[in-house]
Amino acid sequence: MRRTWTWTFDLPPADLWPVLADTNRFNEAMGLPPYVLEETPQPNGTVLRRGKGKAAGFTLEWEEKPYEWIEGRHFRQAREFTRGPFRRFGPIFDLEPDGKGGSKVSYALEYEPLTLTGRLFGARLAKQAGGVVEKRILEAVSFAKGERTTWFDLAPPDLPEGARERAAALAAEVDRSPYGNGLGRPLADLVLGGMATDLVHLKPKKLAVDLKVPQRAAIEACLAGTRAGLLTMKWDLLCTNCRGAKLTASALSELPRGAHCPSCNIDYDRDFEKNVELSFAPAPAVRPLGVGGFCLSGPMATPHVAVQLLLAPGEKRSIALDLPAGSYRLRTLHPGAFVDLEHRGGAFPGVRATDKGVEALPPGQAGTIAFMNDAGFELAALIEDRTWTREALTAPEVISLQAFRDLFAEATLRPGDEAGVSQVALLFSDLQGSTALYERVGDAKAFNMVREHFALLASIVRDHDGAVVKTIGDAVMASFGDPAHAVKAALAMQARIVDHDLVLKLGVHAGPSVVVTLNDRLDYFGSTVNMAARLQGQSAGGDIVLSRGVADDPAVQPLLAGLKAGEESVALKGFSDPIRFVRLTLGA
């Protein structure tokens, strides 16, 4: 049995899909309870997902089939029940252009009663659900148009006694922090009234967009909120397939080198740059969140997956979709061979699934993709975008922020553990003639001048999204996620140090490094560190020495326009070949 509703909206499908396909958010807004699934690996590598719950007075047990979707076009999902009034129940959603720049939206509830009660109750439930779905869809579309600031009109959540007063006090403490950035109150309001969907893995970069503030301001506020006790910190080890947080640790030192994803039935390794993400959640004393999710496998749970189809044994199916040029992976939900490809546009390869994984078929007609299941059992085949979202706050980004270094100085890797990063920009500074300075102005005055110089450099490093890793005598070692930020910081240092009657030597280099724990702090180790230190040694004072790689970086090039830059080459200790570098001569 099936009941269908349709609407037309004056927004194109690309604008509507991200809001209307967010099934986790919609289910929360419709008042459905959160749930968890028992995931059991099967001999063929697939995973049986079974759920239990109560709804409308019925005790329910079901098998949760994988969602099917075509990005921007369609999704459907079905639960097959072993207990309750239905044999099968699930939504079907279709989105298509209306030919006038808008969209036609179709939403259906499809159900198969198991009993007479299911037949009678199903018709009533479908009618009631349709009214709620329409209300929520209209609200979500209004949000997509920018006509409202929140997705839905929802009743306030149940909070522990005294939660609002506690949150207000903690918000004030956040604002007293040098890293609160005036965001204590907005952060507390989100914790108290936000949707659980947004709070279970609170992402600072998304928060920055929502609050219309710079990313660093939102990240620092979340760190300050954790220090104050308004939030908790979560290091998520994301599955390399579904990219879900299958293992979470409260401290870096608790992160293992790998984990198992029961949803994908695979073991995966830790990649410090890609799949270690820092997220936040409300402190339970302020806003406890329930266990589980409201929809555990909808399209926006894995937005990097463009297509996911559930195919019966021997099934062949073609879909209409024109994928843009990019890097894609063809695979199944169960472990097995996958195919990585670079798509240049036009016709896209087909997908043939077997019990060993997938194979790519020759491209067919442009705008059409063929799928074939030769595995001998039901499976889900998919096409995913291989690029990782920049919405995630990765571990290398976090440890290169001054706020993290200051607020969580005790955060270290476990003894003997290390983590590689493919690129970190390192800035080394030193004071020229510091010994003579002490002799010239006296110990007390010179000490104060040096201390003020440290404060100035630390302030500039923070302003350019970096962190002071350590000081060594009169020298500073700072790290940055972006070489351009390091160069901008170096230019600012030389511009401002002249007011302090000091001469600064600076060197900047970027490259791969290893993150380790040294002297109870996170530090960097390797040839990139050695090169940056050696380049600082080539500085004559008042200038900036850049490695050739940093000087050639596309984001650095515009910063060098108008500056006097000369290329030099020198033999450096520890490096077999002469090293080319660029010296920036500043001033008159």
Q: Which CATH architecture has domain 2-144?
A: 2-Layer Sandwich (3.30)
pLDDT of res. 58:
81
- Written as six digits, the tokens of 336 are 């097995």
DSSP 301: G
Instruction: Name the superfamily (CATH) of residues 412-585.
Output: Nucleotide cyclase, GGDEF domain (3.30.70.1230)
Kindly give the pairing relationship between strand 305-311 and strand 521-525: unpaired
Helix axes 443-463, 483-497, angle to 10 degrees: 140
Instruction: List the one residue out of 406, 458, 404 whose CA is nearest residue 204.
Output: 404
Give me the average pLDDT of each 10-residue run along the chain (588 residues). Answer: 91 95 94 90 93 82 94 93 87 94 93 79 74 92 94 93 96 97 97 95 95 96 97 94 90 92 92 93 94 90 95 96 95 93 95 95 93 96 90 92 94 89 95 76 79 94 96 93 96 91 93 91 93 94 95 95 91 84 85
pTM of the complete model? 0.91
Tell me how long the chain is: 588
Domains 2-144 and 412-585 equal at CATH topology level = no
What pLDDT sits at residue 68?
A: 97
What one-letter code names the amino acid at 430?
D
* 571 Cβ contact list (under 8 Å, min separation 6): 578, 579
Give the Å distances, CA to CA, from 342 to 330, 332, 460.
11, 18, 41
Residue 177 DSSP one-character state: S
The residues near 262 (Cβ < 8 Å, ≥ 6 apart) are 39, 41, 47, 246
Domain map (residue ranges) of the chain: 2-144, 163-282, 305-385, 412-585
- Check: CB of residue 276 under 8 Å from CB of residue 235: yes
Token reading at 129 = 């659900």
Task: Extract the tokens encoding 290.
Answer: 């329930």
The pair of three-digit structure tokens given for residue 407, joined into one six-digit string: 């607020």
Alpha carbon dihedral 521, 526, 531, 532, in 10-degree steps, equals -20
**pLDDT for residue 588:** 55
Neighbours of 428 (CB within 10 A): 25
User: What does residue 228 show for φ and ψ, rounded to 5 degrees?
Assistant: -75, -25
d(CA 450, CA 219): 30
CA 20 to CA 447: how far, in whole Å?
A: 62
For residue 415, the model assigns a pLDDT of 84
CA dist., res. 120 & res. 58, Å (int): 14
Q: For residue 421, what are its two tokens?
A: 């990063």
Helix or strand run (H / E) with residue 258: strand 258-261
